[in-house]
């Protein structure tokens, strides 16, 4: 029974693609017009995926260390075979579960949320495209297929961010996200090709040259032995750049906040739970490779810590509700990177799972809030919404508690990370982690208090939230609350080496982190709920509000410097290259002017030219004749 | 080597007359004077032929160039004489200088060729000492008639055909009506 | 060397012909009167004729082919003049001018 499911798991990839094509072609051919049919098809395809994921997951639970691979040769060059297909192991199935369930709930939510939109079918088509590419990504058997779906995910992200393409800010944000991802994708592709090259060149096993995930440990060992340290680190950093761009890590983090221009369900699905987790997923996939070098691991951890710190810092002062959540996502992704880099492999991945649920719930809640306030996103015009949207407020509160690490699933995953950090003696990282936790609790409860407590500051009465919206967030709330139960199981299900999070000395970290979270919540309560006047340190506030001017710096980089270089190039092109062309033209014109002036029509001028030509040729002839005669004369003498 | 000074003087006289009248013909103001100078040139050239022993050629030269052709020119001048004035002298366009320069170069290079061949040709003495041989008049006429009617008979016949064509062609040209404005 | 000037040989005739030819060519280019151009062309023909006869007189005493060809050439020159004058007459009838500057129909 389960074997049937796992043998047909490739249909999970293809079903959303089929629905995508059906919607697009149906739109073109005017076959499918009904929104109900479209949403039902989409939901069916995703539910199909959920069922497969659950059954496969249960099957995997029963048979530990089971790995399923089914692929066919896509490209064959001599003894080099590039396979496309599906690959299922514990990590894939967990990701599959997360992707399909969240996708299903978000689609359920969008069925209502986007119903009034003119481009409803297009939206669902894109969602299906995203589903197809994301499931293809998590089920990739090798790095090349991974890359293909990685790009497809980027494309669907681009399409969905720019869904309201008539809004200039959305179009710009889509372009920004795409370009930022291009930087990372380039690194990923370069790294992939480099690994493939080294393995193919130096290893006897040509089958490893496609970088299959089933054998990544061997590949890492080979690569480590064939290359010197610098090359190895460079390859790893190139690959990591793909992860950094996709998961919006420090140098390339700016696109995620702007990506909030897309519809809220998209933010909930792609830019908080699934796609941005792909970077973490890839690191987990290539973990045996990265873990060979301490430098690479530390690099991951440091980048993650920097991102977590600065993005939490940015989130404190933002006024746009979705932007707060976006920076929160960014910061939590940073924590996952930190966890993976510092060796807390299981903790990082568990945080990925739990974060996916509560962060998508937060986004969906924010969607309800924005919807009920007629697209008002500024939290300064909200307040007191608990009276109008009690269920939303409750869910938001649950998610806030969870993300702060106070209770529920967030507590469990954060504890796992912290204990992992302490176990590996990364005390500096642990301190950084606690600072991030403090800021997280602070800004999350700031948003909660400002939005849901106090007095309502808007002009219109908020709308009631529809049933489907409530249903999806309720289900997510259930996930959020009870996911922590599976912590022990997860530790055994997903592990790297003998890394099992130690639960023995958990008491001290629990105490510290909970008290830190409580401190953050208390501060937020004092400042934002009780409206105590505090002196805002202006410089720090400005720095945070303007996000360290990193965006401005990129603007400067792109607009000023790039434009200057472009202008110089344009100048060269215009006056040097074109100038040469124009000069050639002018030459021709001048010559033709001369020649046309020569054509007087008077026969005597033609005679004169004949004479001149005759004279010149005769002079040349005489010269040559003289030379020849002299040579003959000289040679005759000698 | 003994130089026949009389022969030299005759040659230089005719050559000088030829060149002088040629220049005069080109640089004279009126076209009638040009024509008269040209007739003088043709007579002088006939003299040059005499110095080479080509008496028959000289006579024909005088007959055709000295008398027949000038009559044609006089006819042409007669119906254009009203239009002649000093405006139609010689041009001062750039081609004047160009052609002067070009012909100068041509002339100098040919002179240079002669000097080179004089200095390099080992056979030059034979050429230099070769004199024009005045042969018997009877032999000359025999040779010419042999040439016309035996050796170059075909050319002679073709030439007669050419003359016929020319006669017909010129008659046709004369019959062309003036174009009316339509 | 001076005796070369006085001992009349082939080269003297050749140089004479060359000078006459040059004068004719020059006249054909610079003359503004159509009839003067035709006269200059006659000079050029004559110069060539001198070459024919000079070579024949110096080298070909038996068959005198140069003389024969010179006669042909004379006749061709006369024919050429006749045709040229006929054409000139036609052109003059349309343009009513002897000025060569007016005959720039080669431009079209």
Comparing CA positions, the residue from A269, A301, A260 lying closest to residue A170 is A260
Chain C residues with beta carbon closer than 8 angstroms to that of A606: 106
Give me the interface pTM, i.e. the ipTM. Answer: 0.90
Task: Pick the residue of B90, B114, B149, B174 with the most C CBs within 10 A to test the interface with C by mutation.
Answer: B90
Q: How many CB pairs under 8 A join B and C?
A: 236
Q: Which position has the token pair 């998209």?
A: A266
Chain C residues with beta carbon closer than 8 angstroms to that of A611: 25, 29
pLDDT tens-place string over residues A515-545: 888 888 888 777 777 766 666 677 777 777 7
pLDDT tens-place string over residues A193-204: 888 888 888 877
Can you list the alpha helix ranges (DSSP code H) found in B30-93? 31-51, 55-61, 69-80
* Least confident stretch, A75-79, A239-243, A278-282, B117-121: B117-121
Q: In the structure, what pLDDT confidence band is assigned to residue C43 with cuts at 50, 70 and 90?
A: very high
Q: Are A383 and A321 in contact (CB under 8 A)?
A: no
> What's domain B1-84's architecture?
Up-down Bundle (1.20)
**Residue with more model confidence, B169 or A557:** B169
Among chain B residues, CA nearest to C92: B80
**Residue with more model confidence, A577 or C5:** A577
CA angle B35, B36, B41 (to 5 degrees): 90
pLDDT for the residue A83: 85
Q: Tell me how far the alpha carbon of residue A195 is from its chain's centroid.
A: 22
Q: How far is A602 from chain C (nearest CA, A)?
A: 4
Partner-chain contact C30 B96, CB within 8 Å: yes
Partner-chain contact C67 B91, CB within 8 Å: no
Partner-chain contact B80 C98, CB within 8 Å: yes
Phi then psi for residue B178, to 5 deg, are: -70, 140
C87 touches chain A (CB under 8 A): no
Comparing CA positions, the residue from A339, A245, A247, A225 lying closest to residue A292 is A225
C25 touches chain A (CB under 8 A): yes
Q: Give the mean model confidence (pLDDT) for residues A459-486.
A: 81
Q: In the structure, what pLDDT confidence band is assigned to residue B81 with cuts at 50, 70 and 90?
A: low
Q: In this structure, is the dihedral angle defined by the CA atoms of residues A415, A104, A136 and A118, taken in order, positive or negative?
A: negative
How many other β-carbons are positioned within 10 Å of the β-carbon of residue C13?
Answer: 23
How many other β-carbons are positioned within 10 Å of the β-carbon of residue A563?
Answer: 11
Does the pLDDT of residue B182 top 60, yes or no? no
Phi then psi for residue A69, to 5 deg, are: -140, 130
Chain C residues with beta carbon closer than 8 angstroms to that of A600: 104, 107
Q: Are A313 and A260 in contact (CB under 8 A)?
A: no
The span from the CA of A359 to the CA of A324, in Å, is 12
Q: Tell me how far the alpha carbon of residue B15 is from its chain's centroid.
A: 12
Identity of the residue in A607, A618, A629 whose CB atom sits nearest the CB atom of B106: A618
Does the pLDDT of residue A462 top 70, yes or no? yes
Chain A residues with beta carbon closer than 8 angstroms to that of B110: 618
**C3: in domain:** no
Q: Give the mean model confidence (pLDDT) for residues A495-500.
A: 62
pLDDT tens-place string over residues B32-52: 888 999 999 999 999 999 888
* Least confident stretch, A156-165, A546-555, A610-619: A546-555
Q: In the structure, what pLDDT confidence band is assigned to residue B127 with cuts at 50, 70 and 90?
A: low
Q: Indicate the length of chain A as a whole number.
A: 638
Cβ-count burial of A374 within 10 angstroms (0-12 exposed, 13-18 middle, 19+ buried)? exposed
Could you tell me the two tokens for A591?
């010559």
Comparing CA positions, the residue from A536, A573, A528, A378 lying closest to residue A458 is A378
Using alpha carbons, list the distances in angstroms from residue B3 to A181, A632, B130. 106, 34, 13
Q: How is chain A split into domains, by residue range?
A: 346-545, 553-599, 602-638
Write b or e for each residue in C70-101: b if 16 or more Cβ atoms lie within 10 A of its Cβ, otherwise e: bbbbbbbbbbebbebbbebbebbeeeeebbbe
Tell me the residues of B at the A interface, defined by beta carbons under 8 Å apart: 91, 93, 95, 98-99, 101-106, 109-110, 112-113, 116, 120
* Least confident stretch, A308-312, A382-386, A577-581: A382-386
pLDDT for the residue B15: 93
The span from the CA of A583 to the CA of A581, in Å, is 5
Task: Pick the residue of A612, A628, A630 with the most B CBs within 10 A to test the interface with B by mutation.
Answer: A612
Q: Give the mean model confidence (pLDDT) for residues C31-38.
A: 87
The span from the CA of A40 to the CA of A102, in Å, is 16
Using alpha carbons, list the distances in angstroms from residue A598 to A591, A606, A613. 10, 8, 14
Q: Which residues span the domain enclosing C93?
A: 32-102
Chain C residues with beta carbon closer than 8 angstroms to that of B84: 33, 98
**C69: in domain:** yes
C43 touches chain A (CB under 8 A): no
Does the pLDDT of residue A417 top 70, yes or no? yes
pLDDT tens-place string over residues A257-303: 888 888 888 888 888 888 888 889 999 888 888 888 888 888 888 99
pLDDT for the residue A638: 45
Q: Are A305 and A432 in contact (CB under 8 A)?
A: yes
**C78: in domain:** yes
pLDDT tens-place string over residues A360-381: 888 888 888 888 887 778 887 7
The span from the CA of A277 to the CA of A285, in Å, is 12
Mean confidence (pLDDT) of chain A: 84
């Amino acid at each position: 029974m389960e074997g049937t499911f796992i043998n047909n798991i490739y249909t999970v990839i293809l079903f959303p693609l089929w629905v995508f094509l059906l919607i697009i072609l149906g739109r073109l051919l005017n076959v499918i017009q009904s929104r109900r049919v479209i949403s039902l098809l989409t939901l069916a395809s995703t539910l199909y995926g959920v069922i497969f994921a659950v059954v496969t997951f249960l099957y995997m639970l029963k048979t530990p260390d089971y790995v399923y691979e089914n692929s066919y040769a896509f490209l064959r060059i001599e003894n080099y075979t590039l396979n496309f297909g599906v690959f299922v192991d514990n990590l894939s199935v967990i990701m599959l579960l997360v992707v399909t369930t969240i996708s299903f709930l978000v689609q359920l939510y969008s069925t209502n949320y986007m119903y009034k939109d003119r481009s409803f079918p297009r939206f669902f088509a894109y969602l299906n495209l995203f589903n197809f590419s994301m499931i293809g990504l998590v089920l990739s058997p090798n790095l090349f297929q991974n890359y293909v779906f990685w790009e497809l995910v980027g494309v669907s992200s681009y399409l969905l961010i720019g869904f309201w393409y008539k809004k200039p800010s959305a179009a710009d944000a889509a372009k920004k996200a795409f370009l930022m991802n291009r930087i990372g994708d380039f690194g990923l592709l370069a790294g992939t090709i480099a690994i493939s090259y080294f393995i193919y060149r130096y290893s006897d096993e040509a089958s490893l040259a496609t970088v299959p995930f089933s054998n990544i440990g061997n590949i890492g060992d080979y690569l480590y032995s064939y290359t010197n340290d610098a090359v190895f680190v460079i390859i790893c950093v190139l690959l990591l750049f793909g992860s950094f761009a996709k998961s919006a890590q420090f140098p390339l983090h700016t696109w995620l906040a702007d990506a909030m221009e897309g519809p809220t369900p998209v933010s909930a699905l792609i830019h908080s739970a699934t796609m941005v987790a792909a970077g973490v997923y890839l690191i987990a996939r290539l973990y045996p490779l990265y873990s060979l070098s301490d430098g690479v691991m530390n690099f991951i951890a440091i980048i993650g810590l920097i991102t977590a710190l600065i993005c939490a810092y940015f989130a404190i002062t933002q006024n746009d509700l979705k932007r707060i959540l976006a920076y929160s996502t960014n910061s939590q992704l940073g924590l996952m990177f930190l966890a993976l880099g510092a060796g807390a492999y299981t903790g990082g991945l568990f945080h990925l799972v739990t974060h996916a649920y509560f962060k998508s719930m937060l986004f969906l809640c924010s969607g309800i809030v924005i919807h009920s306030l007629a697209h008002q996103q500024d939290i300064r015009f909200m307040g007191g919404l608990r009276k109008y949207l009690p269920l939303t407020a409750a869910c938001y509160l649950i998610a806030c508690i969870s993300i702060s690490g106070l209770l529920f699933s967030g507590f469990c995953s954060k504890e796992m990370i912290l204990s992992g950090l302490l176990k590996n003696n990364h005390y500096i990282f642990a301190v950084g982690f606690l600072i991030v936790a403090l800021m997280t609790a602070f800004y999350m409860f700031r948003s909660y208090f400002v939005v849901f407590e106090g007095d309502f500051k808007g002009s219109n009465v908020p709308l009631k939230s529809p049933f489907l919206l409530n249903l999806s967030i309720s289900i997510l709330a259930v996930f959020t609350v009870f996911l922590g139960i599976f912590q022990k199981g997860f530790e055994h299900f997903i592990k790297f080496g003998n890394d099992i999070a130690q639960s023995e000395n958990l008491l001290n970290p629990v105490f510290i982190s909970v008290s830190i979270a409580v401190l953050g919540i208390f501060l937020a309560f004092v400042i934002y709920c009780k409206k105590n006047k505090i002196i805002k340190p202006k410089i720090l506030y400005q720095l945070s509000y303007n996000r360290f001017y990193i965006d401005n710096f990129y603007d400067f980089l792109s607009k000023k410097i790039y434009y200057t270089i472009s202008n110089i190039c344009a100048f060269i092109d215009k006056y040097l290259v074109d100038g040469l062309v124009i000069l050639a033209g002018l030459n021709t014109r001048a010559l033709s002017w001369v020649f046309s002036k020569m054509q007087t029509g008077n026969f005597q001028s033609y005679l004169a030219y004949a004479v001149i030509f005759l004279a010149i040729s005769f002079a040349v002839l005489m010269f040559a004749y003289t030379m020849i005669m002299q040579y003959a004369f000289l040679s005759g003498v000698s | 080597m003994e130089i026949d000074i009389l022969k030299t003087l005759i040659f230089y006289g005719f050559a000088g007359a030829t060149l002088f009248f040629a220049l005069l013909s080109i640089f004279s103001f009126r076209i009638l004077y040009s024509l008269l100078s040209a007739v003088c040139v043709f007579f002088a050239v006939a003299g040059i032929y005499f110095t080479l022993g080509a008496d028959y050629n000289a006579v024909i030269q005088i007959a055709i160039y000295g008398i027949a052709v000038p009559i044609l020119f006089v006819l042409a001048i007669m119906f254009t004489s009203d239009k002649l004035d000093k405006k139609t002298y010689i041009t001062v366009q750039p081609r004047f200088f160009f052609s002067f320069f070009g012909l100068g170069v041509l002339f100098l290079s040919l002179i240079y060729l002669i000097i080179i061949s004089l200095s390099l040709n080992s056979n030059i003495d034979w050429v230099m000492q070769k004199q024009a041989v005045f042969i018997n008049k009877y032999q000359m006429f025999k040779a010419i008639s042999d040439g016309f009617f035996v050796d170059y008979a075909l050319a002679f016949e073709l030439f007669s055909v050419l003359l016929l064509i020319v006669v017909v062609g010129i008659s046709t040209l004369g019959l062309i009506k003036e174009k009316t404005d339509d | 060397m001076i005796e070369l000037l006085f001992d009349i040989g082939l080269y003297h005739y050749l140089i004479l012909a060359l000078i006459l030819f040059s004068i004719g060519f020059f006249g054909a280019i610079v003359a503004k009167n159509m009839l003067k151009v035709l006269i200059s062309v006659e000079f050029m023909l004559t110069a060539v004729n001198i070459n024919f006869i000079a070579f024949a007189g110096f080298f070909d005493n038996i068959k005198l082919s140069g003389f024969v060809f010179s006669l042909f050439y004379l006749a061709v020159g006369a024919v050429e003049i006749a045709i040229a004058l006929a054409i000139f007459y036609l052109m003059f009838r349309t343009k009513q001018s002897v000025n060569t500057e007016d005959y720039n129909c080669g431009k079209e």
